[in-house]
């Protein structure tokens, strides 16, 4: 099964962009530069803030990707890319747990058979 494509960011006229001073670790430099980006999707009211890097342009790009993902989740629900990725990850984890249980059950049965033969 093929993954759905990555969601495209909303059009620029639907986005309200503002630049904020950063916060958290990073010292004086992060606290005095406006490199953090906050995007608001006017249609849905979703707000995303990004200060992943020291670069404003990279933060703008990352924030748009985050906003696209959030809007996709809201619009498509269970059919959104992130929901499908989470479902695939959950299925793999559960499959591994089942495999482990099966392995140890067979190991226990083989050990019980060996003890019964003695």
pLDDT tens-digit readout, 74-99? 888 888 888 988 999 999 999 999 99
Rounded to whole angstroms, the Cα distance separating 39 from 46 reads 8
- Chain CA centroid to CA 58, Å: 18
* 1 confidence band (pLDDT: 50, 70, 90): low
Coil vs helix vs strand at 20? strand
> Could you state, in order of their start, the residue ranges of all structural domains in the chain?
12-117
Rounded to whole angstroms, the Cα distance separating 75 from 87 reads 18
**24: closest CA among 8, 35, 13?**
35
What the block records as the tokens of 52 is 């992943």
Q: Which CATH architecture has domain 12-117?
A: 2-Layer Sandwich (3.30)
Rounded to whole angstroms, the Cα distance separating 29 from 55 reads 12
pLDDT score of 24 more than 90: no
- Average pLDDT of the residues in 42-56: 93
| pLDDT score of 22 | 86
């Amino acid at each position: 099964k093929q993954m759905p494509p990555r969601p495209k960011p909303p059009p620029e006229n639907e986005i309200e962009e503002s630049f904020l001073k950063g916060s958290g670790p990073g010292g004086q430099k992060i606290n005095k530069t406006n490199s953090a980006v906050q995007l608001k999707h006017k249609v849905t009211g979703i707000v995303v803030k990004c200060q992943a890097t020291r670069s404003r342009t990279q933060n703008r790009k990352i924030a748009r990707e985050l906003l696209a993902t959030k809007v996709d989740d809201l619009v498509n629900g269970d059919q959104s890319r992130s929901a499908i990725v989470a479902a695939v990850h959950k299925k793999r984890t559960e499959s591994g747990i089942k495999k482990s249980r099966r392995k140890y059950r067979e190991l226990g049965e083989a050990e019980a058979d060996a003890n019964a033969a003695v």
